[in-house]
Amino acid sequence: MTKRNLIADVLRLKTERKALILAHNYQLPEIHAVADVIGDSLELALAARKATEPVLVICGVRFMAETAHILNPDRTVLIPNLDAGCPLADFLTPDIILETKKHYPEAAVVVYINSTAACKAVADSVCTSGNAVRIVSSFPNRQVIFGPDTNLASYVQSALPEKEIIPIPEGGHCYVHMEFSPEDIVEVKTTGASVIAHPECPEEVRRHADYIASTGKMVEIAKTGDSWYICTESGMLERLYELCPDQSFIGNEDAICADMKKITLQELMTCLRDLSGTVQVPPEIMAGARKSLEYMLSVP
């Protein structure tokens, strides 16, 4: 079946199923072509929370689908490929959080949205790369346990020196953002390009960047200049080309999230046709995870 035919089938089935398709910025361009909402993790969470459609299809990775179900427990939440996971999320377990809490009983617990529902259930709040500093600063606690991305934890610590950020687990990171090096940035800046780095990048990379921003914020920043080096997953370049056609973008072709590329048009069509790929969070996890997500969404 041709790509054009698949797109036509997806659009038809989307209407028939009264479904809303939410796609992350890193998804393939053909998935973006049929999506109703395209954005970063925070934008997708907000869209899921406001959704009125009976069926939500998440084109991203599993923790995003879990988040959509937590915020919409009475709706059908689907993901076209159940194997689309997140190695970063796999670093952290509820046991690690609870054991760390024993050593820091006065600390608040904030987990990155790139975490499992089970980890969210034992946290005080969730955060995204775009609101991590704001969420952590909202707690009166001086100590804050933060995971699973140690690079994002160090970014929050640099922004909030009055806090003590306790990163967990040791070595937690996004392998995609580890593809960037300070040497590459120094070299590319000699061409006159400005640099936007994702907070998941290592501290030595962020130090050389002109801006540090979530993928959602990158779009806004990119419109203020002409030439950019983008330190995040390579799929973001396609999104920026689409939204900022007058600007120039380069990145690292090795910065690819394999899980973000797993969902295909064929799988999306099958998902809509069969209502397959259901994601449900167990009831014993749902209440705690919802509480931590709602806390995040309540912070101005």
**Do 264 and 223 belong to one domain?**
no
Task: Determine the pLDDT at residue 298.
Answer: 95
**Do 196 and 57 belong to one domain?**
no
**Do 200 and 131 belong to one domain?**
no
First to last CA, the chain: 47
**Residues 188-207: tens digit of each pLDDT:** 999 999 999 999 999 999 99
Distance of CA 261 to the CA centre of its chain: 14
**Do 94 and 141 belong to one domain?**
yes
Name the band, by pLDDT with cuts 50, 70 and 90, for residue 1. confident
**Do 230 and 186 belong to one domain?**
yes
**Do 251 and 264 belong to one domain?**
no
Task: Determine the pLDDT at residue 203.
Answer: 97
Range(s) of the domain holding residue 61: 3-84+260-280
**Residues 27-55: tens digit of each pLDDT:** 999 999 999 999 998 899 899 999 999 99
The answer to whether residue 61 scores a pLDDT higher than 80 is yes
The answer to whether residue 105 scores a pLDDT higher than 80 is yes
**Do 168 and 97 belong to one domain?**
yes
Task: Determine the pLDDT at residue 42.
Answer: 85
Pick the closest to residue 27 from 250, 275, 195, 215 (CA basis): 215
State the CATH number of the domain containing residue 294.
3.40.50.10800
Count structural domains, the chain: 3
**Residues 131-189: tens digit of each pLDDT:** 999 999 999 999 999 999 999 999 999 999 999 999 999 999 999 999 999 999 999 99
**Do 166 and 292 belong to one domain?**
yes
HSE-up (13 A, CA, CB side) for residue 139: 28
**Do 245 and 266 belong to one domain?**
no
CB 20 within 8 A of CB 56: yes
**Do 154 and 205 belong to one domain?**
no
Which single residue is written with the structure tokens 């999230």? 257
**Do 153 and 290 belong to one domain?**
yes
